[in-house]
Amino acid sequence: MRLGLTLPQFGPFSDPLLVPRLAAEAEALGFESLWAGERVHAAADPITPYPGGTMPEQFRSGLDPLLVLTLAAGATTRPLLGTSTLNAPLHPPIHLARSLAGIDQLSGGRLIAGFGLSWSRDEYDAVGVPWRERGARLDETLDVLAALWDPDPVQHSGKFWTISPGHFQPKPAKQVPIYLGGLSPVAFRRIGRRADGWLGVALPVEALRKAMADIDDQARRAGRGPIATAVRINVKQDPDAVGQLVDYLHELAGLGVADAFVDLQFSTATPAELLDRAARIRHGFQSSGSSA
């Protein structure tokens, strides 16, 4: 199992000058994937409540995920670079296609495009996209990306977007893996039909085992092979319990999870503290018998 780390992006880490330095330090520590998330709008009085409680204060300040990955691509040579998650319906897909292709070119083919829907109705209102259309727009976004990244001439005609026959260059350096998030039956069906991977969250091991089995079952029904899993672990409480986290990482490896990555931005306050904790997690995982 590859072990990854989220890139500096939110709260005290929302400084673009930090991204190349921390990305290079993470690579030197042996992290094999680096990830960026997305928060388009941090509403003061949200229409839809933040999942799990109150929205973290860190979200009041944040860097664009495509900027973060661009900076990380230029500062590293080996780690995979992923979005977890980029809320696809909030973006015109032709812009996404061009930005993601450029990042994949810049990184030498290291991009994982991870998409979700966002829980926030405020974000949909802020960009003028109807909330009720979010699933259909995600599906058509995947269609547009596939069309534009195919050989020229390209074109697309759908419910939301029409792209007349033309040329779209440069293409990605390689076929970009598409990962999708979600925990609902609808999400699992979409992942099984259309995705290369699932963006999972740090559920109890048996719940993850069941989710992975359900997704693989949906993939088999669609005539496709097994779906890779990447698990995001947001470290918010007990920040010094590295041993428990390492044990959990080994359990994930035993499940066949391909990638696990930790987000330390909500339990640390400085780059030095973040890197110190990241180093202890990486060393603990590597030295206890399971190398990524």
The answer to the question of residue 120 being in a domain is yes
- pLDDT, residue 237, reads 66
The answer to the question of residue 218 being in a domain is yes
Crossing angle, helix 65-75 and helix 18-29, to 10 degrees? 60
The set of residues, in sequence order, having a beta carbon less than 8 Å from that of 5 and lying 6+ positions away, is 26, 31, 33, 34, 35, 261, 262, 263, 264, 278
* Length in residues, the chain: 292
Distance CA 219, CA 224 (A): 5
Question: Structurally, how many domains does the chain consist of?
Answer: 1
Domain of residue 279, residue span: 2-287
The answer to the question of residue 237 being in a domain is yes
Query: In this structure, are strands 178-181 and 162-166 parallel, antiparallel, or unpaired?
Result: unpaired
The answer to the question of residue 292 being in a domain is no
The answer to the question of residue 121 being in a domain is yes
Q: Give per-residue pLDDT as tens, 206-242.
A: 999 999 999 999 999 999 999 999 999 999 766 568 8
The answer to the question of residue 268 being in a domain is yes
Residue 217 belongs to domain with CATH number: 3.20.20.30
Q: Please compute the mean of the pLDDT values over residues 100-129 and round it to a whole number.
A: 97
Q: Please compute the mean of the pLDDT values over residues 77-104 and round it to a whole number.
A: 98
- pLDDT, residue 114, reads 98
In this model, does residue 290 exceed pLDDT 50? no
The answer to the question of residue 79 being in a domain is yes
Q: Give per-residue pLDDT as tens, 241-273.
A: 889 999 999 999 999 999 999 999 999 999 999
Distance CA 260, CA 252 (A): 8
| Whole-model pTM over 0.85 | yes
The answer to the question of residue 276 being in a domain is yes
Q: Give per-residue pLDDT as tens, 66-77.
A: 999 999 999 999
Structure tokens at 240: 């010094």
Structure tokens at 37: 């998330």
